[in-house]
Amino acid sequence: MMKDVIQEILITPEDILNKCKELGAQITKDYTEQGTVPYVVGLLRGSVPFMADLMKYLDMDIQIDFMDVSSYQGSKSTGHIRINKDLECNVEGMSILLVEDIVDTGRTLKEVKRTLLNKGAKDVKIATLLDKPDRRVVEVKADYVGFQIPDEFVVGYGLDYNQLYRNLPYVGVLKRSVYEK
């Protein structure tokens, strides 16, 4: 069974849903006060479950879209990104809320944010389900964080190992034997 690859469940489906309600209420309050219709952008593919749950608790007008980027890890740590699927809208003047599964080194989000601001977005905020602050190598601040987790490799609820385990309904630590064999 799929759960046999899990060492330990870190975040249960109930925890996740409660967090989506809490973050959704906060995000709704912030954008309503600002009076803007945010362009809520999920980064494929890891953000899909979080995006789907979170948006149900955004009690205001929103537009949604998805972006698919891959980060090159070249010789230098200035992570450049390749855009595999871009947004459908022109982002000029828009308030963008990026939705991501996890902020690890921070390279991906930093680059995506910079790219969108360069294209004229009015502001770019970040909502992430998970944050691994110990792993950060570039400075990027998430505006909305679900859970801070220790430096362990996790899967489930969108997060993968070699494209597997995204469909687990919780976030769990992957057994070392899965990737050390």
Which residues are identified as catalytic?
104
Q: Which of 38, 42, 46, 49 binds Mg ion (CB under 5 A)?
A: 46
CB 47 within 8 A of CB 71: no
b/e map 143-179, b = 16+ CB within 10 Å: bbbbeebeeeebbbbbbbeeeebbebebbbbbeeebe
Please identify, using beta-carbon distances, which residue of 31 and 173 lies nearer to ligand IMP: 173
The minimum distance between CB 19 and ligand IMP, in angstroms, equals: 17
Q: Give the interface segment with ligand IMP, choosing from 22-30, 59-67, 86-94, 149-157 (CB under 6 A).
A: 149-157
CB 133 within 8 A of CB 148: yes
The minimum distance between CB 49 and ligand IMP, in angstroms, equals: 13
CA neighbor of 119 nearest in space, from 91, 159, 95, 146: 91
The minimum distance between CB 112 and ligand IMP, in angstroms, equals: 9
Q: Which of 7, 147, 153, 178 binds ligand IMP (CB under 6 A)?
A: 153
Q: Which of 24, 106, 146, 172 binds ligand IMP (CB under 6 A)?
A: 106
Q: Give the interface segment with Mg ion, choosing from 41-49, 76-84, 88-96, 136-144 (CB under 5 A).
A: 41-49
What separation in angstroms does the CA of 80 have from each of 47, 76, 149?
20, 10, 26
Q: DSSP code of 133? A: G
Q: Which two tokens stand for residue 21?
A: 């309600």
CB 47 within 8 A of CB 57: no
Helices of type H across the chain: 13-34, 48-55, 107-118, 176-179
The answer to the question of residue 147 lying near ligand IMP (CB under 6 A) is no
Residue 7, binding choice from Mg ion, ligand IMP, none, Cβ under 5 to 8 Å by partner class: none
The minimum distance between CB 170 and Mg ion, in angstroms, equals: 18
- Which residues contact ligand IMP by CB under 6 A? 46, 71, 100-108, 153-155, 159-160
- Which residues contact Mg ion by CB under 5 A? 46
